[in-house]
Amino acid sequence: MAVLRIVTWGDPILRKKSRPVELSEIDDAFRAWCRDLVETMYEEDGVGLAAVQVGKAIRVLAVDTAYGETNVKDPVVYVNPVLEIEGGLCEDSEGCLSVPGVRGKVVRRESVNISWIDVDGNPHRRENVTGLEARCLQHEMDHLEGVLFVDRLSPAARSLAEGKLRKLARQQGA
């Protein structure tokens, strides 16, 4: 297994819309790469990681929002996830491995339903996912559309983050 390099703010790939994974692409090499994605998420202390964040613009997410509390690794790899958002709005603080050093409050929906296929190509669906997991899934799904959480900050919070973002972008160019 390998820890992959996380791409950060200023890298244009983070703005790309990720493409679906074809069933014909799901093989041992793909599964091994997904294990690396999961390993990278744990290594970087993330609760979720989108494939595009390690430089592959395909619709794959790794998520484990419970590990911080349980200390038991129970990752889910979502291939071609489809999210339905529901419920009321809720606001909480978010950060992103691709935007290190920046945190801010983002409004999300309280509850989501998600459908996906696993790394063997089998379909799954979960309904009424709430809490941190629902927030994380909405954050990660945004990555697949080239959207970053800082895009969703209030104008005041965004301008507070602006200095750090410029610094990150400069490091990118270096």
Structure tokens at 151: 């895009």
Give min distance, CB of 167 to Zn ion, in A: 18
Segment contacting Zn ion (CB under 5 A): 23-31, 90-98, 114-122, 128-136?
90-98
User: Of the two residues 54 and 129, which places its CB atom closer to Zn ion in the complex?
Assistant: 54
Kindly state whether residue 63 participates in binding Zn ion, applying the rule CB under 5 A.
no
Beta strands in 18-168 (DSSP E): 48-50, 60-63, 76-95, 103-117, 123-130
Which of 116-132 are b and which e, b meaning 16 or more Cβ less than 10 Å from the residue's Cβ?
bbebeeeeeeeeebeee
User: Of the two residues 25 and 151, which places its CB atom closer to Zn ion in the complex?
Assistant: 151
Does the annotation mark 22 as catalytic? no
Pick the catalytic residue: 39, 94, 133, 140? 140
Give min distance, CB of 79 to Zn ion, in A: 18
Kindly state whether residue 96 participates in binding Zn ion, applying the rule CB under 5 A.
yes
Burial class (CB in 10 A: 0-12, 13-18, 19+), 113: middle
Segment contacting Zn ion (CB under 5 A): 13-21, 33-41, 78-86, 94-102?
94-102
Active site residues: 140
State the residues that interact with Zn ion by CB under 5 A: 96
